[in-house]
Amino acid sequence: MSEKRPLAALPSNGKAISISAVAEQAGVSIATVSRVINASKPVSADTRERVEAAVAALGYRANAFARSLTRGESRLLLVLVPDFANPFYSETVKGVASVVRRHGYNIVLAGAPDALAPDTGAPDALYSRLVDGVISLASLHDLQPAIRDMPDLPWVACSEFVEDGGMPHASIDHGQAALDAVQYLINRGHRRIALLGADESYVWARQRHAGYEAALKRAGIPLDAQLVRVARGTDYSLGMEAAGALLALESPPTAVFAVSDTLAIGAIKAFRRAGRRVPDDIAVVGFDNIPLAQVFEPALTTIAQPMFELGAAAARLLLERLAGGHPRSLTLQHALVVRESA
C-alpha cells in the first residue's frame, strides 16, 4: 500500500538526516548531540554551540519512533469519541486538546465504537501500544475486555464513567442535573412529562433517566412507560422520531426532558412541524448547553455542562496518572439555564 520512505526529514539531496549526521557535522558523538537537544546533561558552551549550529544547518529533528522506543513513552494520547457530530463532544475535546498540548502531548482520535477492531473490540491504536494513555468519552461497556487486557495503560473517563469507581473520571452529577431539570418542569405545573433518553449503555444516560424518575416520584407523579422514549443516539433525527411517537400518544405530554440538546432540538423541530408551539403547547428542556442552545429558536432551556472544563479536567487527571499519581475523580458543577423552550 504505502511507498517506502525514510523517516528522517530529507534535505534536497534525498539523504535522511539523523542524529549521526548532526554528530558528524558538529564533530562530536551522537551522545553529545542527544544531550544538547534534550538538555539532559551539561555540555560545554563551545560544544553546544557547534551542535546547535549543525542542527540548524541540517534542519534536524529527532525521530519520534526511535525516541519513543528508547524513552518508553510516545507522548500520544488516545481520545475516544462516540460521535463527532454532537457539539458536546467537540467542545469537550477542545478542552482536552488545550491542556494536553501544553504538556507536549498529541492526540490520536478514534471514533468509538466505530473504530474498534472487529476481533479485539479495541481501537488498533490501543493494541499496537502506540499511546501513553486514553481519555474516553465513549461507553466503556464494550471496552472492558480491552481495558483489562492492558492493566498498565492508564485510562480516564470524561462525562462517562464506570460505576465500580475503578477509573478516575471528570463528570457532573448526571442524576442530580436531570432531577433539577424535571423539577423545574414540575414547578412550572407540568405533570405529564416525557423523557427523551439516549443509548443506555452509557451510565450518564441511565443516571439521567434515574434522575427523571426520582423527580417524578418525589412529586408523587406516577411513572408512565409510554412517556419514556430511549433513542439510539443523539442525532437531531432521532429526536424528531421520538417526538413524533410522543405526539402520537392518546394523551401526549405537556413537557419533555431530553437528555441532550441535539435531541431536544430535533424534538422541537418535530413539534413545530406538527403545528405545536414550544413552549406554549409543549415545553422542552435539553441537556449540555451546546453553543447552539442559545442561538436556536426558541432558545433552549437546558442543563449546562462545563464542556471545555470537563475535557480539561479529564486531561489533567490523565496527566497526573502518567506522572505516577492516583488522582481522584472530579464532579464539576452543572446549572439549569432557563431560556425560551420551557
Q: Which of residues 23-82 bind a second copy (CB under 8 A)?
A: 59, 61-69, 72-76
C-alpha distance across the termini of the chain, in Å: 55
336, interface contact from a second copy, DNA, none, CB < 5-8 Å by kind: none
Shortest Å, Cβ 316 to DNA = 24
Q: Which stretch binds DNA (CB under 7 A): 44-52, 90-98, 99-107, 132-140?
A: 44-52
Which residue is listed with cell 530529507?
10
Given candidates 125, 228, 242, 303, which one binds a second copy under the rule CB under 8 A?
Answer: 125
60 binds DNA (CB under 7 A): yes
Strand runs (DSSP E) across 130-245, as ranges? 133-136, 155-158, 169-172, 193-197, 228-230
Long-range interactions of 200-206: CB distance < 8 A, separation 24+: 200/230, 201/139, 201/141, 201/142, 202/139, 202/160, 203/160, 203/161, 203/162, 203/163, 203/174, 204/159, 204/160, 204/171, 204/174, 204/259, 205/230, 205/259
Shortest Å, Cβ 29 to DNA = 4
- Tell me which residue of 110, 77, 81 sits closest to 93, measured CA to CA: 81
User: Mask 80-119, x = binds a second copy (CB under 8 A)?
Assistant: ----xx-x--xx-xx--x---x-xx-xxxxxx--xx----
Q: Beta partners for 249?
A: none
Contact criterion met (CB below 8 Å) for 288 and 302: yes
* Interface size with DNA, residues (CB under 7 A): 34
Residues in region 192-221 near a second copy by CB under 8 A: none
In the bound state with DNA, the residue whose beta carbon lies nearer, of 16 and 335, is 16
User: Mask 138-177, x = binds DNA (CB under 7 A)?
Assistant: ----------------------------------------
Shortest Å, Cβ 5 to DNA = 11
One-letter-per-residue 3-state SS of 3-38:
CCCCCCCCCCCCCCCCHHHHHHHHCCCHHHHHHHHH
Q: Give residue 311's identity as a one-letter amino acid code.
A: G
Residues in region 2-41 near DNA by CB under 7 A: 6-8, 16, 18-20, 27-32, 34-35, 37-38, 40-41
Residues in region 127-186 near a second copy by CB under 8 A: 127-130, 132, 149-152
Shortest Å, Cβ 94 to a second copy = 6
In the bound state with a second copy, the residue whose beta carbon lies nearer, of 215 and 319, is 319
Rounded distance between C-alpha atoms, residue 310 and residue 79, angstroms:
13
Residues in region 277-296 near a second copy by CB under 8 A: 291-292, 295-296
* Structure-block grid coordinates of residue 3: 511507498
Shortest Å, Cβ 131 to DNA = 15
Contact criterion met (CB below 8 Å) for 19 and 70: no
Coil, strand or helix at 327: coil
Rounded distance between C-alpha atoms, residue 104 and residue 44, angstroms:
27
Binding site for DNA (CB under 7 A): 6-8, 16, 18-20, 27-32, 34-35, 37-38, 40-44, 46-48, 60-63, 66-67, 69-71
